[in-house]
Structures are given as C-alpha cells and as structure tokens.
Structure 1
Amino acid sequence: MDEPGSTSNDRAKTLDRGIRVLKLLAVADESLSVAAIAAELGLHRQVVYRLLGSLEEHGLAQKASTGRYRLGFGAVTLAGAWMPRLEESLRPVLRDLAEACSATAFLMAEEAEDAVALLVVEPVNTQFHLSFRAGSRHPLTRGAGGVAILAGHPQSPDDPPEVRAARTAGIAISKEQVTSGTLGVAAPVRLHSGLGSIASIGVIAVLGGADVDRLAREVRAAARRVHGG
C-alpha cells in the first residue's frame, strides 16, 4: 500500500532513486557502503538505507557482514526471464548476418555510458575472423555499436558529428576505434523483449579488404528483420 499522503510524483521519485541504486550496484566491481552510494548518487544516507532495504526484501540487493551491499541474485532471475526469449528471437538473425558477411555479428545494448555486447555470433564459413565475448563493453562514443545506439536516440544539440551522420544514414561505421585493424558496421534497433532501450546490431570485420557497402546492406537488412520489416 502507498504511504498516507504520498503522491504519484513522490512514488515516481522513489522509484527513480531505487533504480539508480540498483544500476550502481550492477556496475560496481566490489560491494559498496551506504556512504559511498549516497555520495555517488547525491542522496541522503537515510534515503539510501530505505531504498536498499526495499531492494534487499526483493532479493535485488544483498548485504554482506561488513555492512556493504552488492547486487542480489534476484537481479539474475529478472535477467533470466527475458534473455532466453531474446536469444530465441535474435540469435537466428545474428547467425544469418554473420554468414552473409563472413564476420562476427553482435547485438549491443546501452548500460550507463557503455555499449555492452548481449549476443555474439561467429561465422562458420571462414577460416579467420575476429571475435569477442558477450559481456564485453566499451564507451558508447567509440565503435560502430555504441555510435549506432546513440544515433537511435532523439536528436540532441550535443550529438557529435559521427552520431549525426549515423542517424542520417541509418548506419554507423567505425575503423580501428575499439581494436586495431578492425572495421565495425552497426545499425540502431529497438528491442521489444524485456529491454526498452535502444540497442544496435552489427558486425566486426578485418579492416583490410572489407566490402563496406556490402556489410552496410546486410546490417540494414538484419535491422529490418529485428523490427519485423
């Protein structure tokens, strides 16, 4: 039940703060103290205590004997609810993209200031190709996958030139921005299975000899499949 006198604005603010705490715990490399969380998010310690208590009740935060907090296993359960559906619907698209391009295909999503690889599919019809693991991340502003995600957002006066160009073209292309000797091509997509944020689908290929136009055509076609078009 809602607290007496609470308003929808108060509840929305509490929800926003709780999500911010949850996201901070998710990206932390170690358990965090209440003081550290409060300082990072600019919240009063008592507010953080209340938020952590609610998250702990739902298994989304876990308190160690030291009094510090880390992400709870309940968050894994939430992720597990949509990840199989995501894989079932998008892995075939990535598999076809990887084979059509003879390059490693990926699906990336936005997390804070990073682009994070959710799914990675390697081609089987090549003797040599580039690879990286699901869970790999890099700044959104570097690499085609991140730039494509930014291009999927509404236009902003602060958008860098490469994001504006990708939004106009519907495709982002990067050369050696994340790894030396590589070419990245990606397009923005919107996921409908558990994630409401903009994501990107694309490929990473060896820079030398890559047919950029062909890769762009295949990536655009894959993005249309994700959108059902």
Structure 2
Amino acid sequence: MSTLQTLDRGLEAIDIVSRRTGGISPAALADELGVHRAGAYRILATLEQRHLVAKGHDGLYRLGSGALVVAGRFMSQYRTAAQPVVQELADATGCTAFVSIADRDESVAIAVAEPAARGDIGVRYTMGARHPLEHGADGLAILAQRPERDSDIAAVTRARTLGYALTEGEIQSGTVGLAVATGGAFTSDAEASIGIIRLGRPGDLDVDALLPLVQAARDSLTRQY
C-alpha cells in the first residue's frame, strides 16, 4: 500500500520527538529524518500549530498538549475495545482477566473483568492497579517482547523463550498469573499484555488448557488494535 511521504515524515517526527525526553532541536530532527533543516522547520511548525509539539524557552521541541489529548482518546477507545474481550476471557477461564499497558517502568491494568460465575473467594485486581514491570506476569510479558538486553532478569528471558509469562505471588500473595504480550513490535504500538490471575500455585494453572484461551483473546484484541 502506498503512503503519503509528507504525512509519514510528520508522524515519524512525532515519534522522534516523543523519544527525546530532553527535547530536540530542528537541526537534530532534520538529521534523523534525512531532510533539510528548512523541511524540519516546516514539519515542526505544522505540528506546533496542532499542539502536537511545543517549543521550549531553550529552543528545543517536546511533545505538546495535543499529544496528551490524542493519547487520552486512544486509551478510551482501547479500553472500550478491550473490555468485552477481557470479560469473555474471564468467563471462559473462570479467572480474573486483564489487559495491562506499560507506563514507563510500570504496568497498569486498563481493563479488568471477573468471571460471571465468580466464587465466594476471588482475587482483588482493579482497573488502574500498577506495579513494576519486572513483577507480575503482565509486566514480564511486556518486557519479553522488547529486544534482548544483557540486563534482562531470568524471568524475562524465560518468558521470551516460552512466549508467555507465568508468575506466583508477585502481585498478591497466594495468586498465580499467566500473560502474553499483545503489542509493541513496532515503535508506534502500545506495549500491552493480556492474561489471567487466580488464587493458587503455578501447578494449579493448567497452562496447556488456558494458554490457547489467552492467546485467542490476544488475537481478538490485536485484530482491533
């Protein structure tokens, strides 16, 4: 499929600016885009007019308020799409199901569902719950989809090898979690994972039976995002 080069460069510029937390100069942006400085200035001026970037007092450009507005709308749409998928997964597995996304060095639950046939004792896992990425199946699944690094902990390496993350008692004592990554293969993707959590020990989770259900839920969600 053919693309619009000017639009593609504008989107690439937003991605570059977003990754430069300290800001970026027009000259540096021109070098990264492979365009003349005049072209970089025009791109930045267009993005600034839409409030997608903002020029600081130091002359460097950073993401603008418009990017936050778009991000908020994306999260609302993503959560709306994820919720029925998560509910179906919870009902199919009899476990609490969730979708989590990466927020810097933390994993944040953006959609959570309990099975319709919930017992008297369950797992308390609420939307908005957050924890370090290196703790919990959801965060490990997200880390496992990133390029391999020497600093990776053993649990990340294991999840990358298996294609899923399995943890015990890392978020709540007496619980086990299973998760797979849903996105992040490309720089523009949201880094996310989908999975289940329940009371018990790793042996209490029938991975052979539950993993295909989690993977099917992942596929259903990624067809939409």
TM-score range, shorter chain: 0.5 to 0.7
Structure 1: segments with no counterpart, 5+ residues: 1-7, 21-46, 61-73
**Match in the other structure for 1:122:** 114
Deviation at 1:150, TM superposition (A): 0.3
Does the alignment pair 1:183 with 2:176? yes
Q: 1:156 aligns with which of 145, 149, 152?
A: 149
Conserved? CA contact 2:20–2:62, under 8 Å: no
Q: 2:161 aligns with which of 168, 183, 190?
A: 168
Conserved? CA contact 1:99–1:125, under 8 Å: yes
Q: 1:211 aligns with which of 202, 205, 216?
A: 205
**Match in the other structure for 1:31:** none
Q: 1:52 to 1:223 in 2, by over 3 A?
A: same
Instruction: Figure out how many residues of one structure are paired with residues of the other and give that number.
Output: 177
Deviation at 1:52, TM superposition (A): 11
Whole-Å Cα distance in 1 between the matches of residues 143 and 211 of structure 2?
18
Q: 2:72 aligns with which of 80, 86, 111?
A: 80
In the TM superposition, what whole-angstrom CA distance separates every residue of 1:177-207 from its partner, at most 9, and x where no partner exists? 1110101100011179xx7232110011111
Whole-Å Cα distance in 1 between the matches of residues 204 and 18 of structure 2?
50
**Match in the other structure for 2:42:** none
Q: Percent identity?
A: 31
**Match in the other structure for 1:16:** 20
Per the normalisation by structure 1, the TM-score is 0.65
Whole-Å Cα distance in 2 between the matches of residues 131 and 218 of structure 1?
22
Residue identity matched to 1:204: I
Deviation at 1:50, TM superposition (A): 4.9
**Match in the other structure for 1:3:** none
Report the RMSD for the aligned CA atoms in angstroms. Answer: 3.4
Does the alignment pair 1:144 with 2:148? no
Per the normalisation by structure 2, the TM-score is 0.66
Conserved? CA contact 2:87–2:97, under 8 Å: yes
Structure 2: segments with no counterpart, 5+ residues: 1-11, 25-54
Conserved? CA contact 2:180–2:218, under 8 Å: yes
Whole-Å Cα distance in 1 between the matches of residues 23 and 126 of structure 2?
27
Q: 1:158 to 1:15 in 2, by over 3 A?
A: closer
Conserved? CA contact 1:171–1:220, under 8 Å: no
